[in-house]
Structure 1
Amino acid sequence: MSYGNQVQFKVYKEQEHAVVPVSYEELEAAARKKLENAPYHYVAASAGGEETAKANRDGFYQWKIIPRMLRDTTKRDLSVELFGQTLPYPVLCAPVGVQSIVHPEGEIASARAAASMGVPFISSTASTHSLEKVAAAAEDGLKWYQLYWSSDREIAASMVQRAEKAGYKAIVITLDTPMMAWREKDIENAYLPFLMGQGIGNYLEDPVFCSRLAKPPQEDLVGAVTYWSRVFGNPGLTWEDLQFIRMQTSLPILLKGILHPDDAKLALEHGMDGIIVSNHGGRQVDGAISTIEALPEICEVVNGEIPVLMDSGIRRGADIVKALALGAKAILVGRPYIYGLALAGDAGVKQVLRNLIADLDLTMALSGKTSIKELDRSLLKRM
């Protein structure tokens, strides 16, 4: 019995009970009810009028699955290969910062849950808990480190080096956040958790960052937060700067935030190891292209030279099937697991991931496919 069937029957036989709502809409609504206004909107809201966030969902509706019949789908294989490692599923936990605003354990609980599911966890620079503590929580689980490139390049180098030493297996450089976007809900709520000392754990434990301070963070948190606000973003970066990070690590480097095919070409020209097609869940540029719309052209340009992953807008198994059929090697899921975290800690994260993977398995099988590598554009029709 394959994964999706196993999950179904455990639930039907009441061997497992729901700790979070199964449907995404009810999951979000439950998190909305539990969380205070400001932290909920920090997670849920997007930039400007939220056109990009809406486009991410609408984009999936433009592609329809055409199931094939009388295919033996008794045995299924959800595994994929990435950078020499076999992942049991084509699903990773997207880097989401400042998770402590929805649950006290924050990234610790999420990393622990992801590891228990065999899902790689991408730890954010903007974590409340340091990358070393997150790595310890994930134990032997596969983990990648996401870098927000500081305007103090030695801080960026230090974090990358710390990540490799702590056992992370890839570096994800987020390109689309050289500064924070105009997020109306956060402005209305006057809410930026970093200014309260949340989401800066990696900085507070970084030797280079701390060396820049007049006093240690434990003696002067306000001073540390003030310096963080000065060095967080780096709008001056260019493609030539990527070589600096390459010199700091032997790990694969992926660029997150690619939407234009010409940027995909530049990623190849500059020797990058992977691309994540992403618009930051609609949180940076309002009115931007959806990721599912950008994905096919980027995959065409890359032509299999390096893996292309995708995030922004993934909510159900059918979304994953569509993304993989259009060329993504794997997907990243963000808000859904954060809502699970808010409602039930690591148990909530685990159940959200379990449900998503079970849905993927069953949707793939009912479409007439038995493995991830069989998914291609012939399965879809654009409406």
Structure 2
Amino acid sequence: MSVPADTVSLYDYERHFTARVDAATRAYIAGTGADGITRQANRDAYDRMRLMPRALRDLSGASAATSLFGQAMPYPILIAPMAFHRLVHRDGERATAQAAGLTGTWMTVSTQSSVTLEEVAAVAGGPLWFQLYTQPRPEDTLALVRRAEAAGYRALVLTVDAPVSGLRNIEQRAGFRLPDGIAPVNLAGLAPDSFTPPRPGSPVFQGMLHAAATWDTVRWLCAETRLPVLLKGIMNPDDVDPAIEAGAAGIIVSNHGGRTLDTLPAVAEVLPLVAARAAGRLPILADGGIRRGTDILKALALGADAVLVGQPVLHALAVGGMAGVAHMLTILQTELEVAMALSGRARLADIDRSVIFDPPRI
């Protein structure tokens, strides 16, 4: 499996992915909530913003390095949690983790990964975070946490914006089903969700929400682990103070890539509001719509400490396997360095809101 020679951007990987992967798998990976308005908004928000460069700045010693939770990272880029990497490559999350290690990129492993969290840790060459969905029984949630701790994961990422799955019509129309041999293997042996017998009407309020996480869940989780707990899916600034009070160590501003509730605002639109409310009390990360190094520069200017990249990882994995993911991440790292150099920002500390062009109001 080799990367086509004309693959020079993340959009090229998406183009080749679309041509190579079967329609049902494409529908699952690209599936959006309802009409896809939120997913498109994520891109439109970054595309609308213009950059304002500074000229003749001293760029000696330039670096995109940063740190999170006391650990140095060469670039403010992480791999977002995504389920079932083996849908697009036989090595699945193992290949993704190896590519992450080669490029100095931190990886977030999904609860619903198609390779066990221990197997991913065994081949990883860099820091791993574990994304957590709470389970119907608290003891099963805690069992996943203990496994992540024992395997050397550095943080937990609790997804808080999906108490139920979004209505992904594209996926529904395609009739997607997991192929034989691919499953959420980390959940093997755990108690299945109990479900209220169907009655007339929607099933959502008839039992599907009984295990949904609350602020009490966050407090319990933070008290039960020594790992920092980040909350993924915070969009409203009013949720920042409750997150801090509950013990969260970080916030990931995310609308789930537009896969849950449709017509939410773009991540880039609410990011500065969340960052302002946090006021430096904890790291703020941004997840959703990143496709260019200039997008990362804009997200940092809006208040993010780092960004997460999701779907492009699966695009690259499908096209080029481990080498494809490493190549894609290197493209993104290079684009960020170019964007920093051409905007006159030698270090991440030099990136602030002045990078974004604010046109005069006429």
With normalisation by structure 2, the TM-score equals 0.91
Provide the C-alpha distance between the structure 2 equivalents of 1:20 and 1:269, rounded to a whole number of angstroms.
49
CA deviation after TM superposition for structure 1 residue 232, in Å: 9.7
1:318 to 289, 294, 300: 294
Does the 8 A contact of 2:134 with 2:212 survive in 1?
no
Which residue matches 1:100?
A: 86
Deviation for aligned residue 1:74:
3.9
Partner-residue secondary structure (3-state), 1:122:
strand
1:34 aligns with 2:20: yes
Rounded to whole Å, the distance in 1 between the matches of 2:289 and 2:315 is 14
Match of 1:179 in 2: 164
The alpha-carbon distance between structure 1 residues 89 and 105, as it changes in their structure 2 partners (threshold 3 A), is: same
Partner of 1:331: 307
Corresponding position of 1:4:
none
What is the CA-CA distance between 1:26 and the residue it aligns to? 2.4
String of CA shifts for 1:50-72, please: whole Å, max 9, x gaps. 00000001111232110110112
Tell me what 2:66 maps to: 80
Match of 2:201 in 1: none
Aligned positions of 1:1-383 closer than 5 A: 21-139=7-125, 141-193=126-178, 196=180, 198-204=182-188, 209=190, 212=191, 227=192, 236-382=212-358
User: Equivalent residue of 2:224, what SS?
Assistant: coil
Q: Provide, for residues 303-341 of structure 1, a one-character-per-residue CA deviation record: whole Å limited to 9, x for no partner.
A: 000000001000000000000011100000011111000
Does the 8 A contact of 1:253 with 1:272 survive in 2?
Answer: yes
8 Å contact kept, 2:89–2:317:
yes
Distance in structure 1 (CA, Å) of the matches to 2:333 and 2:210: 36
Q: For 1:33 and 1:75, locate their aligned partners in 2 and report how far apart those are by CA, in whole Å.
A: 42
Which whole-Å CA distance do the structure 2 matches of 1:260 and 1:100 have between them? 34
Q: What's the RMSD between the two structures over aligned residues?
A: 2.0
Q: CA deviation at 1:129?
A: 0.5
Aligned length: 347
Deviations 1:199-223 (A, max 9, x none): 411012x5xx1xx4xxxxxxxxxxx
Deviation for aligned residue 1:17: 8.0
Contact 1:150/1:232, CA 8 A, preserved across alignment: no
Change (3 A) 1:107 1:382: farther
Contact 1:186 1:192 in 2 (8 A): no
Q: Work out whether residues 19 and 344 of structure 1, in 8 Å CA contact, stay in contact via their aligned partners in 2.
A: no
Give the aligned residue type for 2:27. Answer: H
CA–CA distance in structure 2, aligned partners of residues 312 and 172 of structure 1 = 15
Q: Cα gap change, 1:382/1:149 in structure 2, threshold over 3 Å: closer, same or farther?
A: farther
- Give the Cα–Cα distance (whole angstroms) in 2 for the partners of residues 293 and 303 of structure 1: 17
The equivalent residue for 2:202 is: none
Q: Write out per-residue CA displacement over residues 217-265 of structure 1, whole angstroms, 9 at most, x where no aligned residue.
A: xxxxxxxxxx368699865321112122123210000000000001112
Contact 2:38/2:265 (CA < 8 Å) preserved in 1? yes
Deviations 1:350-377 (A, max 9, x none): 0000000000001101100100111000
Q: Tell me the TM-score normalised to structure 1 length.
A: 0.86
Instruction: Report what 2:204 is aligned to.
Output: none
- 1:66–1:367 contact (8 Å) kept in structure 2: yes
Question: Aligned to 1:266, what secondary structure does the other structure show?
Answer: helix
Structure 1 residues 338, 248: closer, same or farther in 2, change over 3 A? same
- Please say if residues 98 and 198 of structure 1, whose CA atoms lie closer than 8 Å, have aligned partners that are also in contact: yes
SS in 1 for 2:44: helix
Q: CA deviation at 1:18?
A: 5.8
